[in-house]
Amino acid sequence: MTKTFPKNFLWGASISAHQTEGAYSSDGKGLSVQDTRSRKNHDIADFTVAVDHYHRYKEDIALLEELGVKIFRFSIAWTRIFPEGQGKINQAGITHYNDVINECLKHGIEPMITLNHFDLPQALEEKGGWTSRSTVDAFSNYVQTVFKAYGDRVKKWLTINEPNIMLLVDKKILGKSLSLQEKYQQFHHLMIAEKKAFKLCHEIVADGKIGPVPNISLVYPATSKPVDNEASLYFNSVRNWAYLDFSCFGRYNTVFKDYLNRQGVKITVDKEDEALMTNHFPDFIAMNFYTTITVEKPMSKKGLADGISDQQSEDIMEWGFYKGYTNPNLQKNEFNWTIDPLGLKTTLQTLYDRYHLPIIITENGLGAKDNLQADGAVHDSYRIDYLKQHITACLEAIQAGVDLFGYSPWSAIDLISVHEGISKRYGFIYVDRDEKNEKQLKRYKKDSFYWYQQLISTNQIP
């Protein structure tokens, strides 16, 4: 097997606004749900300063040019453009992202922008958030504004980051729990908002391309028992295909509809929705992948947590349908996530076989506790090993016929995680701060930086 990727393959790196920018109330920015969310652990870093990418974007983008990336995936903070989510535009926000985009282009890097990454404006949340149809209208106005402001230079757009994870693990991502009825009314509004973004991008951005960006993980049955296979069928639909079938086919799939009916969920649909659903579609699929999921059919309401010893499975419990199960055939990282590079290949194959749209990976990476040495080195061989396994899986998927056109791992620089703060690091670039002390926020290149740099320069896996 050759180790060489296609000539025009897009190597990149990814971040989000709220996890990196800091400057949470600077230059007219409004508060988002990530700024106001309740926190049980006050001993970890929050998003107020984060890693100060807002003020240091020039330094960070210069480092990304040195790394050799062709694309940089980042998100726009909605509350920098509309502090209240709607109404008056904040010109300082418009100017900031103009400057970031121009800096990327100056360094030969193509920006790929996520329209919203878990940071709904708090002012809209107070009016019902995604449960309210008015949030769809506010989102439509926001995306129209940024398409007009930046569409002359930005041609690749992503819609709403991981709406499936936002709803499936609402407590972890949003800091609150939703009822099933509210959760799936939000699903409908999120997906209609995405359809409006497809429509507006194609109308406003000349040669613009846009895609959804869910977290996709193939779901395995725990055993060959028919009931476990049924459990994986339902969770594959609820976790993965419900979102992409809506995006790519404009429909609710039958398994998902059966799940909603059996749960007694009734979704309110507006008159305009059918036309939006069936007439506006993505140009590609952006996929975030960390690992696969394994489930079994729960046979008793007692002991629903039995068999679970990994972080991803602890939130998967739906009586009558499925429950998480820790796959004994997979290794784990130090934050208790399973590792499954072959699962990335089969997920890519399944996705492409189902939708037959070009795919780009926009998140994939290893969270770990890195150590800065006295000489400024960070020896993260464990991250290199993880990336090598998963990038090899990408190449194998391409050779198996998948139209994978890019890989933009998580993350470009170290950033703040909701539950682990700065201790859980993903970046190619180390940011010198700890949970309580921001220090000088100095940047250091990790060993993985040099490894990825070599890969990009040769287009081959070292």
Q: How far apart are CA 146 and CA 149, in angstroms?
A: 5
Any idea what DSSP says for residue 413?
B
Task: Report the number of secondary-structure helices (H) and strands (E) in the chain.
Answer: 17, 16
What is the rounded CA–CA span in Å between residue 386 and residue 364? 10
Alpha carbon 382 to chain centroid distance? 22
Has 363 been annotated as catalytic? yes
Decide if 64 contacts 53 (C-beta within 8 A): no
Q: In what order do the strands lie in the sheet with 71-75?
A: 209-213, 156-161, 110-116, 71-75, 10-14, 404-407, 359-363, 285-288
Distance of CA 353 to the CA centre of its chain: 22
Decide: helix, strand or coil at residue 151. coil
Q: How far is CA 13 from CA 16, 273, 283, 421, in A?
A: 11, 35, 21, 20
Active-site position among 162, 296, 318, 438: 162
Per the CB < 8 A criterion, the answer to whether 71 and 110 are in contact is yes
Q: What distance in Å separates the CA atoms of residue 360 and residue 403, rounded to the nearest whole number?
A: 9
Neighbouring C-beta atoms of residue 179, cutoff 10 Å = 10
Which of these is catalytic: 21, 103, 125, 363? 363
Which is nearest to 294 in space by CA: 323, 318, 320?
323
Q: Residues in the chain, how many?
A: 462
**Cβ-proximal residues to 174 (8 Å cutoff; 6+ apart), any chain:** 33, 37, 118, 166
CA 410, CA 315: separation in Å to the nearest integer?
22
Whole-number Å distance between alpha carbons of 36 and 23: 14
Catalytic residue numbers read 162, 363
